[in-house]
Structure 1
């Protein structure tokens, strides 16, 4: 994506929609458990605020961010939870203000950065557009956890195309983080758009291995917000089938994913 303005605008809108969902919550609602083990609504917003702060550091001070990545690599299975715990301990209004301020600062920094700049990250380096896409993906995914905790059904929007895009781009990462050799050939991914319009397509049209299904279901799969068994996403070919079992759009260790609905917790 040569012009990051579109995804930056969509990130702003996705964040605003989630802000509306949590801004009027009672203090007790912030303590509600979400589908993520041991994470409340407050933990979810705290994680977004924490990750926005990390992204801002990566964009504005690569040397300082390198120090933070050393901490992450020293404790790969706990550093994310520790950041969420620290933020969740704040009063809800203070946490909300911190998230709002941090995401606005990140928006400004990304809009002012050179379009061809690349920034360090916990996974591969990020361009302005890919950094914004990653933040939108996380905002949508953690927003889904909050919506599930509150019993709210969110209507899927065209912004999901960014989430689907990063999910497709992260295919080889999902294999590599599990010490598996990524498939040599490209896959074709064809998704039904939320509005029923033209399908969203990725990869060569004549690819032998394919993935099809609703865009919402694919996004829930790659962000590990739902189990494959509960989604209408289909694979054609053994490598594509394996990918749907391990798909992961976010950087970091391989996630365990969610149990199927009705499974014992």
Structure 2
């Protein structure tokens, strides 16, 4: 695994850290777009998942026991972890998140080539684990930014989020009980710098998705409604995918409501 990927994960975490570190304790209780989740819940969830990833990398047998407990409450264990983590003082939560993500960094950098680790779905390589953590950090960071009214500058790190979004296409169908399309799609995304094009899939694919990388990442992490992004589909199946796309594991989420939907 390229250590540049872990550098990107570190940088993504540090960017979010700079958003929350200066907050007064009462601001950690500000609501985010995720129902019933405050800023503290968002950071607690990241800390909880980092701890789970560290357990998977360093103690697979203990992680197996952890997943057995999680299986007893599949619909609530993620929220429960966030609730418990958000209950304490913000400065303790911030310190725990920082320590956990640093320990995970060291563990992933030390992982032997080709190693695979257990997870809630199929086993993951160190690279896939790092990419998934970056995607989650960016997505939950967007929730925090929205809660604070902050505008984050998109970076080339979005390439990792976009990659997961493309790779998770069939999962988005399967988690809804739908049959995935047989052939690959062509995805063309304009990078944040406006000069580079990130491409996935064969050029001659009949189904195409195009648009800004930021908008695509907001869509596949369900941080924006399709009506509010400049992502376009060519072909019926590509159009259908954009309605259900999700880059994260777990049940199909409801996604964000369109802006002005309640007006």
Whether the aligned pair in 2 keeps the contact of 1:190 and 1:201 (CA below 8 Å) is: yes
**Is the counterpart of residue 7 in structure 1 residue 2 in structure 2?**
no
- The aligned residue for residue 81 of structure 1 is 79
After TM superposition, where is structure 1 displaced by more than 4 Å over at least 4 residues in a row?
Answer: none
What residue number does 2:224 align with? 226
Q: Which residue is equivalent to 2:203?
A: 205
The CA deviation at 1:163 is: 0.3
1:127 to 105, 115, 125: 125
Q: How does 1:1-265 map to 2 (within 5 A)?
A: 3-264=1-262
Give me the whole-angstrom Cα distance separating, in 2, the residues matched to 1:238 and 1:66: 41
Alpha-carbon distance in structure 2 between the residues aligned to 1:69 and 1:150: 34
Query: Scaled by the length of structure 1, what TM-score is found?
Result: 0.97
Q: CA deviation at 1:14?
A: 0.4
Distance 1:187 1:156 in 2: 25
CA offset digits 1:206-253 (Å, max 9, x no partner): 111010000000000010001111111111111111111111111111
What is the rounded CA distance, in whole Å, between the counterparts of 1:115 and 1:232 in structure 2?
Answer: 39
Write the distance in 1 (CA, Å) between the matches of 2:69 and 2:103: 23
Equivalent position SS for 1:156: coil
Tell me the distance in 2 between the aligned counterparts of 1:114 and 1:260.
Answer: 45
1:10, distance to aligned residue in structure 2 (A)? 0.0
Contact 1:4 1:128 in 2 (8 A): no
SS at match of 2:14: helix
Alignment TM-score, normalising by the size of structure 2? 0.98
C-alpha separation between the residues in 2 aligned to 1:223 and 1:4? 24
RMSD across aligned positions (CA): 1.1
Identify unmatched segments of 5+ residues in structure 2: none
What is the deviation of 1:69? 1.8
Asked whether the equivalents of residues 189 and 211 of structure 1 are also in contact (C-alpha less than 8 Å), the reply is yes
SS at match of 2:71: helix
CA distance in 2, matches of 1:77, 1:237: 35
Change (3 A) 1:72 1:254: farther
